[in-house]
Amino acid sequence: MAIRTQSVAEVCERAKRASRRLATLDTAAKNGALEAIAAALEGRVDEILEANAEDLEDGRAAGLDDALIDRLSLDRKRVQAMADGVRDIVALPDPVGEELESRTLPNGLELRKVRVPLGVVAIVYEARPNVTVDAAALAIKSGNAVVLRGSSTAARSNAVLAQIVAEAGEGAGLPAGSISLVAGGGRDELAELARQDGLVDLIIPRGGEGLKTALKDSATVPVIYAAAGNCHVYLDAAADPEMAKEIAYNAKVQRPGVCNAAETLLVHAEIAPAVLPELFMLLREAGVELVADGRTRALAGPDGDLVGEATEEDWDTEYLGLKMAIRTVDSVDEAIDHVNRYGTGHSEAIVTEDERAATAFTDTVDAACVYVNASTRFTDGGEFGMGAEMGNSTQKLHARGPIALRELTTSKYVVRGTGQVRQ
């Protein structure tokens, strides 16, 4: 496995060579390697947790906030979840070779369009050691080599995990270079990785706006941005009040430090008096700091001083923590306008019993995932039955939403003839 003993270019060249062999492996061979990786994770859990403990100690000393510490933390349950996730991918259909189209042309040529691997996928991610395993497993099942580039905050965890999955995979027959890690070179290394034309076929960054900006300034290879999630829940006038409260609470509190957690709650003026007072209480009891517009603050009653005044910046902010902005609106159209102005195209939800309002929301909100009467927290490759994900794309080309097995493939036309030449 390559960590930092090789240059970025050498790691990518090795991965490219591996990708050519990976593209020819059958499903049984790939699944066998993934089973070996899952077993290795379970067998070396103490080694993983020891490395993670050192990262956590450094992170706390550096003043990382609770949300970042949560994303960085591993325990036996989370390591087991990684292994289980690898086995979930084993159980999924192999996308490689899937026939997308087939027909015979008038001249007798037989044309087939089939799925094929992209080649080498690089993923750049921050403070989430589980991504090391998810990315490797998805890449292998889809026939791709993967180059991993994690953050310094999880350096030890990522190094151990990458070593485990690479060794287990190669021991089960994967070509050397199928799974590689580069680390330690800072922004210069990132820029070098982003310029590996002809070697890296796609880069997927998972992180904040700083990472996104750094890649935009330097990337010459294709990029799919697994972007920020400034997500909204809109409680319509026709919402069931109990359902509305439960969904709004879940979307914010269930795991606030992730990109599909709701950051802003929009509430129709007609239902606001029926749901907001209790929601204020529930959210505050969960430790959520609340900010709101004037109309919404007035509904807080005697506790109004506990709800801060929302600024323009609040509507535009992905908190990734226990803070939420709340605004009262007068129509579904006003809610849609707010979402399309401030949202990042990730996950948006409406709670309503009015089918016309639901249809207006789903048809006109510009986002990768739009929910009716469900929490935004479901935007996840695992929850969608994809096994895992490389990230959630808010772009429109070539993938949108969770980036999983099929999103890590492209297509190829295979044409068979009997001697035809073009006149």
Residues 221 and 236 both lie in one domain? no
pLDDT tier at 242 (50, 70, 90 boundaries)? very high
For residue 402, the domain's CATH number is 3.40.605.10
Residues 200 and 243 both lie in one domain? no
Residue 422 lies in a domain: no
Residues 268 and 334 both lie in one domain? yes
For residue 239, the domain's CATH number is 3.40.309.10
pLDDT tier at 5 (50, 70, 90 boundaries)? low
User: How far apart (Å, rounded) are the C-alpha atoms in residues 250 and 240?
Assistant: 15
Residues 54 and 89 both lie in one domain? yes
Residues 64 and 38 both lie in one domain? yes
Residue 2 lies in a domain: no
Domain that holds residue 191: 8-226+390-416
Residues 170 and 250 both lie in one domain? no
Residue 421 lies in a domain: no
Residues 49 and 178 both lie in one domain? yes
Strand order in the sheet with 307-309: 307-309, 289-292, 323-329, 262-268, 231-235, 347-351, 369-372
How many distinct structural domains can be found in the chain? 2
Identify the CA nearest to 265 among candidates 285, 288, 287.
Answer: 288
Residue 85 lies in a domain: yes
Q: What pLDDT score does 4 carry?
A: 45
Over residues 318-344, the pLDDT tens digits come to 998 999 999 999 999 999 999 999 999
Residues 180 and 310 both lie in one domain? no
Residues 340 and 219 both lie in one domain? no
Look over the chain and give the mean of its residue pLDDT values, rounded to a whole number: 94
Residues 326 and 407 both lie in one domain? no
Residues 146 and 184 both lie in one domain? yes
User: How far apart (Å, rounded) are the C-alpha atoms in residues 372 and 355?
Assistant: 10
Residues 318 and 407 both lie in one domain? no
pLDDT at 237 over 60: yes
